[in-house]
Structure 1
Amino acid sequence: MVSATRIKSVDFYRKIPRDLTEASLSGAGLSIVAALAMVFLFGMELSSYLAVTTDTSVIVDKSSDGDFLRIDFNVSFPALSCEFASVDVSDVLGTNRLNLTKTIKKIPIDSHLRATGEEFHSSTGLHLINHGDEDHENSSYAAIPLTGATFEQFSHHFPILVVNFYAPWCYWSNRLKPSWEKAAEIIRERFDPEDDGRVLLGNVDCTQEPTLCKRLHIQGYPSIRIFRKGSDLKEDHGHHEHESYYGDRDTESLVKMVEGLLVPIKKEDHKLALDGKSHNAASIIKKAPLSGGCRIEGYVRAKKVPGEIVISAHSGAHSFDASRMNMSHYVSHLSFGRMIDERLLTDMKRLLPYLGLSHDRLNEKWFVNQGQFAANVTIEHYLQIVKTEVVSRRFGQEHSLIDEYEYTAHSNVAHGYYYPVAKFKFQLSPMQVLISENPKSFSHFITNVCAIIGGVFTVAGILDSIFQSTVRMVKKVELGKNI
């Protein structure tokens, strides 16, 4: 067996007997300073070890989220009715999707962006509406022309007032006119206004009565509105809630619609007996928007190629007055890619302060067209999108912590000859920003700690030796002078 003496011979740290050493005040002070320096430098090294360091690089986009990009948005239009609001998506590859509804919600709002009703569901198949083949030349004028003054009088007098809001220049209004006048004639013969007194059909020319049409939020022509007396009279300035008719516009359909409205209304002591088919028209009568604005929220999926989202007034059976349309809007939210948990994004901002500063460039901003040239103005947004991904390499493995799409935005207004729209043009960069999180290794941390302790201890020893040698030299000089 190896003796203890042989083992002791490899001792790197041979000891001097304590009795042969001498403590000094200078050495004690230097030891305290050295200990404090060790603690301070250890804390700095620990902080550096725990801190996250990153490398930023630009590489070709290697997206793992497929060929489609999700676009979430929440945009409010104070002057665009949900009745006609449409969301369209197109791209340079020729894809065109019109009037998306599956993932889109439309909430009526007032001029202060406050909701005024439940979600509005758009009518489908307006381009398939039957307009009949009545001869315009032979149509009589049986519907009563209404003005702002007479409208209130008739709406309070008749239990049912059905009004056609039209514009003389409108193609669809002119196409409706013969059927509407013929239906008004038939209804007048069957339900005489003076004898029966339950229903009246009227017309409002919105080019002559713009104030009335604006108050009733008429934005598309023709609009057939149904006003009921009494039961739906609101406390708010006595205005009537009303409904819209979205069915066929031939004479037979219009007459059946009116007859269906009269079913629950008694004439003196008996009810009107009608054919059961008339009830089918009620399914295409919906409550009209109580306000002229609309909040459009939801998401769409678009191919990762240059494209655009267009929000506009659209209908297959209505015309719009471009000079009166206002596409001013407020963007509550617009983002690309997957929705990121706010807590995760907050943590990432703490670790990487420059992350997430441009993924919401348009959020909470107004875009208003105003001034004397405010009519027929399209508001366009040009968005340049780039993907940003954060990758962690902790514990020898690489995994993605977060990925988001950031964008720059430039907005502009343009005058045109067509209906004004709100347009969001987007283009994705073929490159992506890669942020790599590079933590320090534990072995590197231990090595630095040892270097700190050994270095401070050695430097303190050298300083102590220099100080002691200087003291001894001074004493010798003083002794020599005394001799």
Structure 2
Amino acid sequence: MRLSSFDVYPKTLSEFRQRTLTGGIVSILTIVLVLLLTCMELVDFVQVKTVEHLYVDTSRGSPPMRININISFPALPCSVISIDTLDLSGTRPDETAMIIEKTRLDAGGRTIPSPAAQGSQVPGGRPPERRLLFDGGGGPTAAAAGRAGAQGGGGATDRKPNGLRDLGHLAGRGDILLSALLSELLPNVFEDTEAIAELRTHLGEGCHIEGSITVQKVAGNFHFALQKADHHVLMTVFGQKESLNVSHVIHSISFGDVYPEMVNPLDDSRRILTNSTGFVQYHLKVVPTLYEPWHGQPLLTNQFSYTELFRTTQELDKFPAVYFHYEFSPIMAKSTQTRRSYSSFLTGLCAIVGGVVTVAGMLDSFLHRLTRVLGTTPK
């Protein structure tokens, strides 16, 4: 009896209880509403949410960053495309830091199977050697002179015949250094017939480039350009710079590892040039990101945003190219996966049951009093 005196829920005798139709309806609705809200609370509890935070990046001595590349050039053969990177300090990555694979594509975008190493060639290697077309007496052959004149370079041959004869005599001895010097000073008297014939066999093909480049975490750029040492071959085959179409499809570009639900704005983007070709530049703002999954180790990676700029070859007087300039933001993003705690879940359940039952009791009491006043209390 002493313990029962603390009961704050006094009971009434069953003889004094009255069940009504409105009370039954309210009770059924109460049970349905409690079950519905409980299911919603359970779904919200098991769902993993991502919370974003921004703060100043104070990290020092960041490790090197890997740039993942997957891009296609439907109008350029693989043999004329080179990829290179350069940061603000003037540092270029060595060959071990650049893992690039090239795959030839036909006009329909399908892969061309080839046993040659061109499909997996790492750009930046030595260009094909060129032959200086001199006859046995040290002078240029008639065929070479005719080709040079047709290409607009015959004037230099006519002005200094003796010098060319002497240089040709030295070049015939196998002086590699002198041949390289002549290639820079007099490019029109050089002709790589094998490279020209090989490039003509690949006209109409495309190229798919995929791989990664490991760079220091310093602002810089990586770009897809035409082989500088092969400009003479390019002009012989294509005729003019406007014929070098740098239309491209960016399948994916990322800086570091990709985590679930990460959005890279350049993925599956197309830049098709129909009326003119030129210099395409992408300016990327890279944001260091710390991703903390619900289960697993934290991942340090990067997100980015970009702007785009296009200039024609007539505006810049340059060979067409595709440049990606990147710089790092001083703000670091933190993406954390989280879930509600058990205490919060239990508190929500108690609030649902208690609140719904209380409101339903008030509603039932109001309806019961109303029916009594109207004199239509249901039996």
Q: With structure 1 as the length reference, what TM-score do the two structures score?
A: 0.56
SS where residue 319 of structure 2 aligns?
A: coil
SS where residue 139 of structure 1 aligns?
A: coil
1:223 paired residue number: 192
Whole-Å separation in 2 of the counterparts to 1:474 and 1:144: 116
SS where residue 325 of structure 2 aligns?
A: strand
Whole-Å separation in 2 of the counterparts to 1:89 and 1:335: 15
**Identity %, equivalent residues:** 23
State whether residues 130 and 192 of structure 2, in contact with CA within 8 Å, keep that contact through their aligned partners in structure 1.
no
Kindly tell me: are residues 413 and 97 of structure 1, through their superposed partners in 2, closer, same or farther at Cα, counting changes over 3 Å? farther
State whether residues 54 and 436 of structure 1, in contact with CA within 8 Å, keep that contact through their aligned partners in structure 2.
yes
Kindly tell me: are residues 453 and 81 of structure 1, through their superposed partners in 2, closer, same or farther at Cα, counting changes over 3 Å? closer
Matched residue type, 1:23: R
Q: CA deviation at 1:419?
A: 3.3
Deviation digits for residues 10-35 of structure 1 (CA, Å, limit 9, x no counterpart): 44444333234332333222222322
Kindly tell me: are residues 434 and 473 of structure 1, through their superposed partners in 2, closer, same or farther at Cα, counting changes over 3 Å? same
**Which stretch has the larger CA shift, 129-138 or 88-97?**
129-138
Alignment of 1:23-422 (within 5 A): 23-61=19-57, 66-97=62-93, 102-118=98-114, 119-120=117-118, 121=121, 124-126=125-127, 138-139=138-139, 141=141, 167=151, 169=153, 222-225=191-194, 290-291=202-203, 293-316=206-229, 319=232, 320-321=234-235, 323-324=240-241, 326-340=244-258, 345=260, 348=261, 355-356=262-263, 359-361=264-266, 363-368=268-273, 370-371=275-276, 374=277, 377-392=278-293, 400=298, 403-414=301-312, 415-422=315-322
SS where residue 65 of structure 2 aligns?
A: strand
Whole-Å separation in 2 of the counterparts to 1:362 and 1:467: 61
Kindly tell me: are residues 65 and 36 of structure 1, through their superposed partners in 2, closer, same or farther at Cα, counting changes over 3 Å? farther
Deviation digits for residues 16-57 of structure 1 (CA, Å, limit 9, x no counterpart): 332343323332222223222322332333333344455433
SS where residue 194 of structure 2 aligns?
A: strand
Q: CA deviation at 1:8?
A: 4.1
Matched residue type, 1:314: Q
Whole-Å separation in 2 of the counterparts to 1:20 and 1:445: 38
Choose 1 or 2 for highest CA Rg.
1
Kindly tell me: are residues 409 and 98 of structure 1, through their superposed partners in 2, closer, same or farther at Cα, counting changes over 3 Å? farther
Q: CA deviation at 1:335?
A: 1.4
Whole-Å separation in 1 of the counterparts to 2:272 and 2:96: 23
Deviation digits for residues 148-186 of structure 1 (CA, Å, limit 9, x no counterpart): xxxxxxxxxxxxxxxx9x945399x9989958x989xxx
1:283 paired residue number: none
SS where residue 244 of structure 2 aligns?
A: coil
Kindly tell me: are residues 24 and 64 of structure 1, through their superposed partners in 2, closer, same or farther at Cα, counting changes over 3 Å? farther
State whether residues 97 and 215 of structure 2, in contact with CA within 8 Å, keep that contact through their aligned partners in structure 1.
no
Whole-Å separation in 1 of the counterparts to 2:357 and 2:230: 90
Structure number having the greater helix percentage: 2
Whole-Å separation in 2 of the counterparts to 1:315 and 1:465: 90
Deviation digits for residues 208-259 of structure 1 (CA, Å, limit 9, x no counterpart): xxxxxxxxxxxx96223299xxxxxxxxxxxxxx769xxxxxxxxxxxxxxx
State whether residues 107 and 115 of structure 1, in contact with CA within 8 Å, keep that contact through their aligned partners in structure 2.
yes
Whole-Å separation in 1 of the counterparts to 2:372 and 2:224: 92
Matched residue type, 1:323: Q
2:18 paired residue number: 22
Which one has more relative contact order, counting CA pairs under 8 Å at least 6 apart? Answer: 2
State whether residues 55 and 436 of structure 1, in contact with CA within 8 Å, keep that contact through their aligned partners in structure 2.
yes
Q: With structure 2 as the length reference, what TM-score do the two structures score?
A: 0.69
Q: CA deviation at 1:365?
A: 0.5
Unaligned runs of 5+ in 1: 148-163, 184-219, 228-241, 245-287, 349-354, 476-483
Whole-Å separation in 2 of the counterparts to 1:7 and 1:106: 85
Q: CA deviation at 1:326?
A: 1.2
Q: CA RMSD in A?
A: 4.8
Whole-Å separation in 2 of the counterparts to 1:470 and 1:111: 82
Q: CA deviation at 1:412?
A: 1.1
| Alignment length (residue pairs) | 341
Whole-Å separation in 2 of the counterparts to 1:85 and 1:388: 32
SS where residue 24 of structure 2 aligns?
A: helix
1:444 paired residue number: 344
Kindly tell me: are residues 399 and 337 of structure 1, through their superposed partners in 2, closer, same or farther at Cα, counting changes over 3 Å? same
Q: CA deviation at 1:427?
A: 1.8
Whole-Å separation in 2 of the counterparts to 1:308 and 1:90: 6
Whole-Å separation in 1 of the counterparts to 2:94 and 2:298: 36
Whole-Å separation in 2 of the counterparts to 1:86 and 1:434: 36
**Which stretch has the larger CA shift, 289-298 or 134-143?**
134-143
